[in-house]
């Protein structure tokens, strides 16, 4: 008798878990439909009003122009050239290039 009640309780718990899962899926679908509906409404209101379309186009144009200005500003700057003079060379005792300390003086052109 105890086995039957335990089995029945397990079945009830399994049914409840299944129902909870179905409920979560239904709730998720409903939330997704609400989000899609809001998105569609925003799209319709944005594309149905000519003034809003003009404002968006102007905003995009300003954004693109500002990006181009930043890119062109870097390209317009001349590269800085330097002339270096060796002031001192010291040997540190290590082998190869790591063993030489060079002191330079730079002058921009």
How many CA atoms lie less than 13 Å away from 26 in the CB half-sphere?
6
Model confidence band, residue 74 (pLDDT cutoffs 50, 70, 90): low
**Per-residue tokens: 70:** 């930043």
pLDDT greater at residue 28 or residue 41 = 28
Radius of gyration of the chain (CA): 36
Model confidence band, residue 41 (pLDDT cutoffs 50, 70, 90): confident
Residue 75: predicted pLDDT: 57
pLDDT greater at residue 52 or residue 82 = 52
Query: Strands, DSSP E only, in the chain?
Result: 82-91, 100-108
pLDDT tens digits, residue range 92-106?
A: 777 767 777 777 776
- The residue length of the chain stands at 109
């Amino acid at each position: 008798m105890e086995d039957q009640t335990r089995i029945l309780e397990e079945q009830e718990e399994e049914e409840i878990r299944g129902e909870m899962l179905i409920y979560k899926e239904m709730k998720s679908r409903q939330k997704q439909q609400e989000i899609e509906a809001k998105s569609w409404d925003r799209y319709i209101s944005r594309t149905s009003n000519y003034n809003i379309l003009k404002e968006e186009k102007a905003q995009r144009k300003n954004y693109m122009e500002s990006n181009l200005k930043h890119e062109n500003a870097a390209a317009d700057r001349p590269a800085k050239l330097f002339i270096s003079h060796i002031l001192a060379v010291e040997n540190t005792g290590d082998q190869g290039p790591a063993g030489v300390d060079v002191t330079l003086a730079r002058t921009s052109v």
